[in-house]
Amino acid sequence: MKARVNEKLVEAAGEQMVQYFFDGKEWRQKWEKKFDACAMIMSRQSQELETIRQQVLEGKLSPLAYHLQTNLFNLNLLSSYTGISKRRIRKHLKSDHFMQLDEKTLKLYAAIFEITVEELKIIPL
């Protein structure tokens, strides 16, 4: 059974329902639209990660910024997990401040990202 509902074509087959949408050119399944959105988000995420990676290699940012991005964290989330203020974390994102961190703080960050302190201090090439 097929029916058009709000510019969508809905196909019911037993207990499964497959939805289609018209993208201006052709009818596509709804899951494709979700997949396209995920692919676009991941592409943008990869571009941002590469930009941060380059800034870390240039010494403009600390490796913490790279690990923050790879784990999809933001300042609010990292602050809530570590108990470190966002202001201090912003400082730690700068290379010169990061290099001065004590072992306790480095271990805390490493534990949050589930990596070792040595892995925290470097980024993959």
Q: Is the pLDDT of residue 1 over 70?
A: no
Q: Read off the pTM.
A: 0.68
Chain-wide mean pLDDT for the chain?
81
The count of structural domains within the chain is 2
* Cβ–Cβ < 8 Å for 110, 120: yes
pLDDT at 42: 76
Domain range for 69 is 59-121
Q: Indicate which CATH number applies to the domain containing 89.
A: 1.10.260
C-alpha gyration radius of the chain: 22
- Give yes or no: residues 29 and 65 share one domain: no
Tokens of 2: 């097929």
Indicate whether 41 belongs to any domain. no
Beta strands at 2-5 and 16-22: parallel, antiparallel or unpaired: unpaired
Indicate whether 39 belongs to any domain. no
Indicate whether 77 belongs to any domain. yes
Dihedral through CA 93, CA 118, CA 104, CA 74, nearest 10? 30
Indicate whether 76 belongs to any domain. yes
Give residue-wise pLDDT tens across range 19-75: 666 666 666 666 555 566 667 777 788 889 899 999 999 999 999 999 999 898 999
